[in-house]
Structure 1
Amino acid sequence: MGNPINDLEATKIDLSHQEMDRLVTELENIWNAFAVGPEGEPTGVEWLPVAGIADALREDLGYEDMPEFEDALGGTFNDFLDKLPRIVKKETDGKFYFQILPEPPREQWKATRQTLTIQSRNDLWRVCLKSPHARVEIPELEFEISADGKKHIDSIYNHIAQAIFNLGNYVSSTRASMPPDTAARIMETVEQLNVLLDVEKPWTWIVHDPAGISVLKPADGVLLDEL
């Protein structure tokens, strides 16, 4: 069994929310271009070369060369893929290949609840794949990140940071018509979310997913309930 702290450090993704979202979206677009037909049917392509896709992704994202791309990733693209949920890799003749596992059809959904107690800042670097159907609950604040029909893959830290940004932006853009007490309550929530990022005491991250396809990685310490 590995050391949990080392495992967390190995899976840490030190990218902004926007850059992570852009990278994952481009990666999935490339995968779908090869593996998924115009009607959503499989094309027969099961594996893509890690090295070739790394170079294509680097170019699509506007990085000048591979060292610059790997510097942004904090390591090689091959290692970066290990940090992402629903990615499977294999090695053949010294070369690495990968595939992205498809979402199951609705008739195969199995609702789950995943509960993680955030005990230190290291836990904030766990990667959370929040499916399009999932919502996240932080019971200590009676706060929820609702399902929005989009898949989000990011560190827990960045999930919360994005929620903070969205709430602050909402107040700023609607303050003229928003009752002062409503704005005050929202900004109090923003302050409380910022405090959570300091992890002064343990708190809880709960992912409710009717499809059962959300993932927390690494999964040690995660309580999984099938509903």
Structure 2
Amino acid sequence: MADTTDGVDASSDNKPLFRDLTGDIGDQEATQIDDTLCMNCHESGTTRLLMTRIPYFREVVLMSFDCPHCSFSNNELQPASTIQDQGVKVSLKVETSKDLNRQVVKAESASLFIPELDFEVPANTQKGVLTTVEGVIDRAVRGLEQEQPIRRTMDPGTAEKIDAFIEKLRGLTDLKTPFTLVLDDPTGNSFVENPFAPSQDKSVTLVHYPRTREQNIQIGLQPENEPSEEAPTAGEAAEDGEAENLADEVLCFNTNCPNCQSPVPTNMKVVDIPYFKQVIVMATTCDRCGHRSNEVKSASGVGEKGRRMTLNMTDPSDLTRDVLKSETCTVCIPELDFELSLSYGIGGKFTTLEGLIINIKEQLEKNAFSLGDSSTATDNNKMKDFLAKLAEIAEGKTLVHIVLDDPAGNSYIQNVYAPDPDPELVVEDYERNQEQNEDLGLNQMKTENYEEDN
């Protein structure tokens, strides 16, 4: 088998292995593999691999096969990133033709469900694909039609029922009545495009959930017959002399660069934030591509109440305030009618207010669906105008209100008047509703009398 690579080798000039998905063909470097066995006619065909990064999502590998002998072709998508900490369930209400054109990443581990037709495509029955909502429906139709010639001979009654159901599936694209498309992926590697970025997508409901033991077994994270090991309690560790003082120590462990996937060390340290709580700060620097990132995890669990903080910027010096944004926190700028939801994937950050705004701007600039060839001129101009407004805020030319809303209560904006109250900072603690507790996994959590269930 011969390998030929189109373009420049990414390893020779320290370019990232995974490039952002853009409309510029010159930025994409595909790997071509000749003499690939065709599974249809058993002659030699050609396979092309493209490693890319989807905006607001993560790295994927696009694979395309073409056979010149029998004209057989095949396209497939495989997630290139690791399995996420939580599963994801994406529900899209399809009402207009624009919704049918939304980009969809459906991983092989994801199940597809259309409640209105009581139709489900189980996980691991279709290969991963990068397509549109209409393409997902067309793929389901082609899957049902595949065995119809045999059914019409062996079981005409069943074939007739399936033909009627296929017509119902095709009728969804006429949009005579709205329908719901649900993707449930335990690996967290499926995605539906937000065409309204940077605004919140009101047609999509995104729920992150902790995996069950059965789901961990399904995706290969836990052997089926392996019992779960109970971690020793803090008291037992102290008695065994294994307790460590993490507050005065910087731990280092190996991981992969989130930008180019090269092996890099990550430093981790427990930090006490004055007038707040303990957090875990993790920092990564990649020598290959120069990418730097920091991530923050709460060291104290979920708070008893949610917390909403509203900062009224009255001076450019407010940009120097320290900000802790947890993974469960949303960021709102009322003057711009902007809300940064969890679907943008920025994660936990410990930075300044200026750094947070710049990071949001950088994430929005990576959205090829709003700035690339797949966007309209109106969407393109709208996004550029919004990015310009964010730049003015980051430079202190425009003063706005910044709202951090964290149902877990693990986010923080520095009070520069501490220990006295800050006249420009309003902090509200509130009771979480049922939906917020569900998102945090608290409704299924039982901390008292749990032995009775066993």
Q: Specify the TM-score bucket, using the shorter chain as the normaliser.
A: 0.5 to 0.7
- Aligned-partner SS, 2:388: helix
- Aligned-partner SS, 1:202: coil
Partner of 2:21: none
Give the TM-score normalised by the residue count of structure 2.
0.30
1:193 is matched by which residue type in structure 2?
A: L
CA contact (8 A) 1:112 1:212 kept: yes
Q: Distance in 1 between matches of 2:231 and 2:383?
A: 43
Tell me, yes or no, if structure 1 residue 196 matches structure 2 residue 393.
yes
CA contact (8 A) 2:308 2:428 kept: yes
- Aligned-partner SS, 1:225: strand
Q: Distance in 2 between matches of 1:135 and 1:206?
A: 8
1:119 is matched by which residue type in structure 2?
A: T
1:223 is matched by which residue type in structure 2?
A: V
- Aligned-partner SS, 1:218: coil
Q: Distance in 1 between matches of 2:407 and 2:247?
A: 33
Cα offset for 1:110?
0.7
Q: Distance in 2 between matches of 1:164 and 1:131?
A: 18
CA contact (8 A) 1:164 1:193 kept: yes
Partner of 2:245: 47
- Aligned-partner SS, 2:396: coil
1:189 is matched by which residue type in structure 2?
A: F
Q: Distance in 1 between matches of 2:232 and 2:411?
A: 21
1:226 is matched by which residue type in structure 2?
A: D
Please give the root-mean-square deviation of Cα atoms over the aligned residues, in Å.
3.6
Partner of 2:325: 130
CA contact (8 A) 1:196 1:203 kept: yes
CA contact (8 A) 1:171 1:183 kept: no
Ranges in structure 2 where 5+ consecutive residues have no aligned partner: 1-228, 255-270, 280-296, 431-454
Task: Report which stretch shifted further, 118-127 or 166-175.
Answer: 166-175
Partner of 2:426: 223
Q: In structure 2, do the counterparts of structure 1 residues 224 and 182 end up closer, same or farther at CA, with 3 Å as the change threshold? A: same
Q: In structure 2, do the counterparts of structure 1 residues 184 and 110 end up closer, same or farther at CA, with 3 Å as the change threshold? A: same
More helix by share: 1
Partner of 1:153: 350
Q: Deviations over 1:103-138 (max 9, x none)?
A: 334xx5411210111222221121211121110111
Tell me, yes or no, if structure 1 residue 115 matches structure 2 residue 288.
no
| Of 363, 370, 381, the match for 1:166 | 363
1:131 is matched by which residue type in structure 2?
A: S
Q: In structure 2, do the counterparts of structure 1 residues 41 and 204 end up closer, same or farther at CA, with 3 Å as the change threshold? A: farther
Partner of 1:182: 379
1:47 is matched by which residue type in structure 2?
A: N
1:167 is matched by which residue type in structure 2?
A: L
Cα offset for 1:188?
0.7
- Aligned-partner SS, 2:359: helix
CA radius of gyration, larger in: 2
Q: How many residues align?
A: 157
Ranges in structure 1 where 5+ consecutive residues have no aligned partner: 1-36, 61-80, 89-99
CA contact (8 A) 2:361 2:391 kept: yes
- Aligned-partner SS, 1:189: helix
Q: Distance in 2 between matches of 1:176 and 1:130?
A: 33
Q: Distance in 1 between matches of 2:348 and 2:232?
A: 17
